[in-house]
Chains A and B, each alone.
Chain A
């Protein structure tokens, strides 16, 4: 059984650009959540996808968007990148929306 995998592991983008981060959920999990973790802070909830639909959203602007595919893998898209978007982006999958979540190793995004 494979765990949650994220790609790429590191990424550098320029302010104003767009970025797409990818996540493969753990086998059998139909729910994916995305978190942003700034340096020295705890992870902050961005949104959750359940069976290809957005199932909840944290306090993030619309330029943060996502998708979930029929195989339950997911993408996080961020448009018009800002310097403050520099962070570790974490993906977590779970069997159901309200069961324990298992995290990937994250994508370190640096915006310059």
Chain B
């Protein structure tokens, strides 16, 4: 699976949109971009995933650039409960799920009141 690069930490004001970037310049054509987050001492929580089109669900939006080398997770109206470590993961399907998810260090997003 391709490697991802994320900033180690970010701040965002409560009520504003939080935009979390991720670089994945070596992504290949059959690899998806997944986002998970982990609130302190809890299990990771699935947020969203996409291949090449932008995706939106009740939690967030995922914007993937046309060349697919980077993406941005957008939390439209951040709340204090969104403070967490956010992981961007690139995952291929050639091996099924047999390689598991490769978590890096993620971005520690801190929502400021």
Contacts and interface: CB of A to CB of B under 8 A. Distances in A.
Interface stretch (A12-20, A62-70, A76-84, A99-107): A99-107
20 contacts: A33-B97, A35-B100, A35-B101, A42-B104, A42-B106, A43-B44, A45-B99, A45-B100, A46-B100, A48-B100, A55-B98, A56-B95, A56-B98, A92-B43, A92-B44, A94-B97, A98-B97, A100-B34, A101-B97, A106-B43
B96 interface: yes
Instruction: Report the interface size class on chain A.
Output: 20 to 34
Interface string B70-113: 00000000000000000100000101111111111110000000
Instruction: Report the interface size class on chain B.
Output: 20 to 34
SS class, residues of chain B in contact with chain A: loop
Interface of B: 34, 41-46, 49, 87, 93, 95-106
Contact of B100 (A50, A56, A102): A56
